[in-house]
Structure 1
């Protein structure tokens, strides 16, 4: 419960709530910001004013008041700062990864730009850079393509050319003993 007096905001916290706050501060999930916020609440429960708490912890009095108001309204969940931005769209990511898996299963070498164009058939509009991010998240590896014309060559013509080159090759020189004068 929160009430005001001439010295500022005072917060009443039960003993069980104090124990719970200390557990939150000591948990592995808690970072330094959460620990500082728990300390703000515990000091306010001891009767410290917001300016005094702010001076002690290195925060402004307005920040301390904001944290205390949020704690009163939402409870211990308010001590963990909210993540900025939208929540991740897990379904969209899974859909895109499934589409990429189906494309990568084809016997074809892809560039990121080609994959981006192929994904448009699935109704997904991404740029090559974003496609590379998805591929990295999927753990998909890449390697430089081997420069080869084997897939475009006629095997009979290649065999005939090898025979012609073999006939033109110099015969190996015989190793003869050196003849010295004298």
Structure 2
């Protein structure tokens, strides 16, 4: 067991951290804010770690970040995670193809079109998720059936 690590908060800081519980922020930020508050209320690092099912080292890192950066230390740095292979104009291009061209596409065909025209290699599943998240569901089935029917 290392030396005791404890933070001290002003009433204003404590209130701000308490209000983060109901704010629209990531869960990690809420958990980190609660770790800081528990430390300020006298909880030991090991007890906080067992409460959150974290390691004691993780709790210490959160407390050290708080001491060094304050509120800013609760948020993760930008740029974490894998960067997207596509840019906004690539997806806009596909949406325009879906709107303007009379034919219908499935996700495999859209992925092939994107690779041939833009040299962007996305899996059909990922492409479908991106389009669905943006609200672009492809050509409407009813529209395609009506236009393709023979008279």
TM-score using structure 1 length: 0.57
Q: 2:11 maps to which residue?
A: 15
What CA RMSD, in Å, does the superposition of the two structures yield over aligned residues? 3.5
1:71 equivalenced with 2:69 (yes/no): no
Maintained 8 Å contact 1:50/1:61: yes
- Per-residue deviation, residues 152-182 of structure 1 (Å, max 9, x unmatched): xxxxxxxxxxxxxxxxxxxxxxxxxxxxxxx
SS of residue in 1 equivalent to 2:141? coil
Whichever of the two has the greater Rg, that structure is 1
- In structure 2, which of residues 44, 51, 71 is the aligned counterpart of residue 49 of structure 1? 44
Shift, 1:8, TM fit: 0.9
- Give the Cα–Cα distance (whole angstroms) in 2 for the partners of residues 35 and 113 of structure 1: 40
Maintained 8 Å contact 2:66/2:74: yes
Higher strand share: 1
1:64–1:112 Cα change, 3 Å? closer
> How many corresponding residue pairs?
142
1:143 equivalenced with 2:141 (yes/no): yes
- Give the Cα–Cα distance (whole angstroms) in 2 for the partners of residues 149 and 55 of structure 1: 65
1:20–1:99 Cα change, 3 Å? same
1:143–1:64 Cα change, 3 Å? same
Shift, 1:68, TM fit: 0.5
- Per-residue deviation, residues 91-132 of structure 1 (Å, max 9, x unmatched): 70x212221123221222334343333332234333443443
1:102 equivalenced with 2:96 (yes/no): yes
Q: What stretches of structure 1 of length at least 5 have no aligned partner?
A: 1-5, 152-182
Maintained 8 Å contact 2:95/2:136: no
TM-score using structure 2 length: 0.66
- Could you tell which deviates more after superposition, 131-140 or 69-78? 131-140
Maintained 8 Å contact 1:112/1:128: yes
